């Protein structure tokens, strides 16, 4: 338990963190990787090319300082981040390395002398938070490894089939190389794919949603023109091997909800399609499910045939919004009017995923037509952030 003095000192640093947080975290990452280059085998280097990772960490540090006397408020965020950490293989020995670089960055940016009360307080506060994460992640590792078909670390899988969804999206069907049982998963969860280092570079790890539900593992990957990993994955063929982490993640169906609505933007459909399939299996035809698919055009529809089949044969209402070209229920962008008309039951739980600008605007629209935040569920592909 943190001392009253530590809590008081950490809270007093909130204004400084609001002003200098991004500079502190940018300095932190630079120093962390200079002193511990082995961590580049874990961290996503693409997130270091802009301020997204630094901004996310700055927000997290500020939230911790602001709520250090009310840590229960942070538990949902801790659980979410712990799942991401477990997916990429963060271990307890990494935390002292991170702590040393973070305290050094705080001292450098704020120009504090050694043994300054703020540094002493933040050291204690960081160690307390690190232990919370260490314990949470140890529990996730233990639960995964002890599950039927579970494992810890990375397990080799073989690509047994490849399906071209759109000009830039492929679905890969995977089965374990040892042909043994694999851990079950909840619709909406993800795995990490690890590409071992080549040509003297570092390992690359990316997280991909398990894009179907019903027993097998599959991922659906958009090839990013400037991507470090997705072009490599797209170059794989049937019979190629990929290293997978166990499934993790908390973006899953609320089984207490009476009605589910899904809204996808582009490749953000990947966790939502899996969740739709699970919702159909649980629905027993009692209540219609609404799926709103937003994409560039009919050519860029992912899971086109499967969605059409579900809409024809199950209690699924499918609405399609095409930014360009004909064929959709709405052309252009999703509007307030269309949302208010299609989502007539404001007690429904809404799950959405897609590009960050899409989700930010969508959340505003959903709030404005009467949806409470506790009924809105979303997943961000990238550093943890709030909409």
Q: Catalytic site residues?
A: 95, 137
343-373: burial string, b at 16+ Cβ within 10 Å, e else = beeeebbbbbbbeeebbeebbebbeeeebee
CB-neighbour burial class of residue 16 (10 A; exposed 0-12, middle 13-18, buried 19+): middle
Phi, psi of 338 (to 5 degrees): -65, -45
């Amino acid at each position: 338990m943190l001392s009253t003095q530590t809590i008081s000192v950490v809270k007093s640093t909130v204004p400084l963190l609001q002003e200098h947080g991004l500079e502190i975290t940018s300095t932190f990452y630079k120093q962390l990787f200079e002193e511990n280059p082995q961590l580049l085998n874990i961290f996503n280097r693409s997130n270091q090319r802009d301020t997204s990772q630094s901004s996310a960490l700055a927000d997290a540090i500020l939230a911790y300082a602001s709520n250090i006397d009310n840590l229960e408020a942070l538990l949902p965020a801790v659980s979410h981040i712990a799942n991401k950490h477990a997916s990429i293989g963060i271990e307890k020995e990494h935390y002292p390395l991170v702590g040393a670089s973070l305290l050094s960055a705080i001292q450098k940016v704020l120009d504090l002398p050694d043994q300054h009360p703020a540094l002493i307080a933040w050291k204690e506060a960081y160690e307390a938070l690190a232990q919370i994460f260490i314990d949470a992640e140890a529990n996730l590792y233990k639960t995964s490894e002890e599950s039927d078909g579970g494992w810890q670390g990375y397990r080799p899988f073989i690509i047994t089939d490849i399906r071209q969804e759109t000009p830039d999206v492929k679905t890969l069907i995977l089965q374990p190389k040892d042909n043994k049982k694999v851990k079950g998963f909840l619709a909406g969860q993800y795995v990490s794919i690890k590409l071992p280092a080549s040509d003297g570079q570092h390992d690359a790890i990316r997280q991909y949603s398990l894009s179907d539900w019903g027993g097998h593992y599959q991922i659906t990957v958009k090839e990013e023109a400037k991507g470090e990993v997705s072009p490599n994955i797209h170059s794989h063929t049937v019979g190629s091997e990929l290293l997978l982490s166990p499934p993790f993640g908390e973006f899953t169906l609320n089984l207490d909800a009476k009605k589910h609505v899904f809204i996808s933007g582009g490749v953000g459909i990947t966790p939502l399609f899996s969740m739709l399939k699970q919702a159909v299996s649980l629905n027993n035809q009692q209540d219609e499910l609404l799926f709103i698919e937003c994409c560039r055009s009919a050519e860029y529809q992912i899971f086109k045939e499967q969605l059409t089949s579900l809409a024809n044969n199950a209690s699924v209402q499918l609405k399609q919004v095409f930014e360009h070209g004909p064929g959709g229920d709405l052309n252009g962008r999703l509007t307030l009017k269309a949302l208010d008309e299609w989502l007539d039951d404001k007690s429904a739980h809404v799950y959405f995923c897609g590009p960050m600008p899409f989700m930010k605007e969508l959340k505003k629209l959903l709030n404005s037509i009467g949806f409470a935040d506790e009924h809105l569920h979303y997943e961000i592909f990238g550093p943890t952030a709030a909409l």
